[in-house]
Structure 1
Amino acid sequence: MNKNNYAILMAGGVGSRFWPISTKEFPKQFHDMLGTGETLIQKTFNRLAKIIPQENIFILTNEMYNDLVFQQLPQVTKRQVVLEPAMRNTAPCILYASLKIQKENKDAVMIVAPSDHWIEDENAFIQNVEQAFHFCAENDALMTLGIQPTFPNTGFGYIEFDKETKDAIKTVKQFREKPDYKTAKEFIAQGNFLWNAGIFMWSVNSVVNAFKNNQPELFQLFEQGYAVYNTDFEDDFILENYAKAENISVDYAIMEKSENVYVLPATFDWNDLGTWGSLYDKLDKDENNNAVVNARTLTEDASGNMIRTKKDKIVVVDGLQDYIIVDKDEVLLIFPKAKEQDIKKVLQKVKDNFGENYG
């Protein structure tokens, strides 16, 4: 296993569209969302460990999730857990972790991967990552793994690549925002558009230089802390300066501003597990097309439902089609799947009416 291979595992999100299971105190990446016996972060860590030395997998998360990380990944050390002092989107935290890795190994190549994605064909994933690692080690490249679209999804950003590129790794023409349905259909018809999964790959030198060139203020804010080799001072400096960083995504900060951007169309299956509906799509269904996690069910005239409870809870459903039914402690959610994007709004209403401790 190549000791220059590193990973930044992004595990700081709240996952509010998976409420009431996912909460600010205990977000979805720390749950076994599919009932497999592994939480999402455990599954992602073990997948990456097939190609990256375990000690080179860094967990990037919020300070409030520090204990959860060590509970679920007891094999990691304090060195590997990079805590965000404040929530500032993906650009500051990726630069923060990249500078740490560069200080440790100037020859590092890395993958930045969300902790809450679901990938079944792990062999195909490993092959794609190995191919991208090799390319990034040999070239000054900012890469992303693009997902072959299977339908005109309006919930993802898209990557447009150069049609003239015959190589497996394509030159990116531009990134596109989440489209409406008509535009998404046009993207797919053109044949050179991929879903943007937020999986990035590059050498540590390429990404640090990209920040230096495209985000000089952010780079200078962080670089000063790394000019000093006393660890305590460094951590104190970052703690003090991190909150001053702009709230900006890595896509806007460097990917959309750089010329050396490439995409590898992925050959693995992928699901971002962003909503209860996307979880429903991944799960096996019963004879009535209901997806059930943990519950024991009796259903009558009920189909297309997403049902999740504590282990072995008995759930009786009659006359409901295409609903999300989630039971957790003091909260029961019964909500139409067609309105799943409104769960974040509902969560805010619950907190306004019943208190912050329910979110």
Structure 2
Amino acid sequence: MANTIDNKVVALVPVVLAGGSGTRFWPRSRKSRAKQVLPLSGSGKTMIQETVARLRPLAQIEDFLVITNDLLSATIKGQLPEVPEDRILCEPFARNTAPACALAAMIVERTAPNTILGIFPSDHVVANDARFAEVIRSGMQIAAAGENIVVLGAPPTRPETGYGYIQEGAPADFADASIAARSVQRFTEKPQIDRAIEFVADGNYSWNAGIFLWSARTLANAIREHRPAMAAPLERIAAAFGTPEFEAVFAAEFEAIENISIDYAVLEPRSAKGAAGHIYCLPADFGWNDLGSWNALHEHAMQKGGSKGHANVVESKSMLHMDAFGNYVFAPGLTVALLGVSDLVVVQTDDALLITTRAHSQEVGRVVSELSHSGRKDLV
């Protein structure tokens, strides 16, 4: 869909990243049913269905690119029947976000280099879809105005060690953009708690929402500049897109590509250039939450329901609670009784039971690693 903003037509290709395994949502999330294909937010839709639905007003459905893996592709195709199957790409090997983003850029660059690519994780929630669309359209205008990279930064509500941080600089003036942007000075990935406290107190830091906008040419050229060894095999894969040889070329070329995030591959080296890096931040002030842990899901339920943080969130057949506060419990089909406990996470599935605290919910991936190392592949 072409977006007309201030009489300028700007096209968007949404690139939906859906290849993660969501280990911090174990035991509900497994490799073959990662969190993006689960209905976690309470809407009744899965995370990836919500993502595509909020992007539909911004782009034609046939322009979407969904990048996932073989374990999830059949489920995703079933959940997104409106997306053409040839626009759902299955990575033959897990290689983090930089190769996925770069491949999308090089595919689009071959026919429409000025088209804006939007990178959208498939496992985030947004409270205000109208504001989300407004911010994305403004970001598209900035990205189309030159070799600009637009990142979205969420206002931090607490010191959080599970998120990356964006240090924002001076305001940046773009006449065509309806929302004020600020230059980006630095990216810091998942700091220790003392630095996170400093960042929040500083007032010039935001959480990296993992949503980026740039033209196909800008991203492709950035990969050629900063990761030249990655560029050549990706260009060979892109050249095969739409041909009968695509899957074979994809498998042959992708294995040797570096495993690296787009933050480390492009954003950090570009931000080191200062103003010459052309990176700008827009506010993700639309009720963003990446639902990165069971604690984040508890917070999301609190915000959605208008409750305070000490309330219990329970999905069960029935519940009884006495002197119990701030717990998250998922035990469908069971009666749950909470007595004298606070800030727990309890998640029950057919074959596993997780009991931890909300404070430790970012560490649930350690359980998955231990199960994998001990040979319990049936549980991961």
Q: TM-score, normalised by structure 1?
A: 0.93
Match of 2:146 in 1: 139
Higher mean C-alpha deviation, range 278-287 or range 80-89 = 278-287
Match of 1:128 in 2: 135
Match of 1:54 in 2: 61
SS at the partner of 2:257?
A: coil
Q: What root-mean-square deviation, in Å, do the aligned CA atoms of Structure 1 and Structure 2 show?
A: 2.1
Whether contact under 8 Å (1:35, 1:294) holds in the other structure is no
Higher mean C-alpha deviation, range 11-20 or range 53-62 = 53-62
Which runs of 5 or more residues in structure 1 are unaligned? none
Higher mean C-alpha deviation, range 19-28 or range 299-308 = 299-308
1:326 is matched by which residue type in structure 2? V
Distance across 1 between alignment mates of 2:38 and 2:47: 6
The structural deviation recorded for 1:87 is 0.2
Whether contact under 8 Å (2:289, 2:296) holds in the other structure is yes
Matches within 5 A, 1:1-359: 1-2=1-2, 4-163=11-170, 165=172, 168-227=180-239, 231-258=243-270, 259-284=277-302, 289-310=311-332, 312-352=333-373, 355-359=376-380
1:309 is matched by which residue type in structure 2? A
Change beyond 3 A, Cα 1:68–1:320: same
Match of 2:7 in 1: none
Whether contact under 8 Å (1:34, 1:283) holds in the other structure is yes
Equivalent residues, number? 358
2:331 is matched by which residue type in structure 1? T
Deviations 1:189-222 (A, max 9, x none): 3322111111110011111111111111110122
Deviations 1:4-61 (A, max 9, x none): 2110011111111110001111111111113321111111110011212111121111
Distance across 1 between alignment mates of 2:65 and 2:369: 32
Distance across 1 between alignment mates of 2:109 and 2:85: 18
Whether contact under 8 Å (2:31, 2:71) holds in the other structure is no
Whether contact under 8 Å (1:110, 1:203) holds in the other structure is yes
Distance across 2 between alignment mates of 1:154 and 1:228: 41
Whether contact under 8 Å (1:8, 1:97) holds in the other structure is yes
The structural deviation recorded for 1:229 is 7.5
Change beyond 3 A, Cα 1:22–1:220: same
Change beyond 3 A, Cα 1:206–1:289: same
Whether contact under 8 Å (2:168, 2:205) holds in the other structure is yes
1:72 is matched by which residue type in structure 2? Q
Distance across 2 between alignment mates of 1:329 and 1:109: 44
SS at the partner of 2:125?
A: coil
Distance across 2 between alignment mates of 1:316 and 1:296: 9
Deviations 1:170-194 (A, max 9, x none): 2211112322333223223332211
Distance across 2 between alignment mates of 1:40 and 1:158: 24
Distance across 2 between alignment mates of 1:103 and 1:134: 21
Change beyond 3 A, Cα 1:355–1:226: closer
SS at the partner of 2:141?
A: helix
Task: Give the share of equivalent positions with the same residue, in percent.
Answer: 32
Whether contact under 8 Å (1:60, 1:93) holds in the other structure is yes
Deviations 1:118-163 (A, max 9, x none): 1101111100000011111222111111111122222211111223
SS at the partner of 2:187?
A: strand
The structural deviation recorded for 1:104 is 4.2
Whether contact under 8 Å (2:344, 2:358) holds in the other structure is yes
Distance across 2 between alignment mates of 1:301 and 1:343: 26
Whether contact under 8 Å (2:21, 2:30) holds in the other structure is yes
Q: TM-score, normalised by structure 2?
A: 0.88
Distance across 2 between alignment mates of 1:42 and 1:225: 27
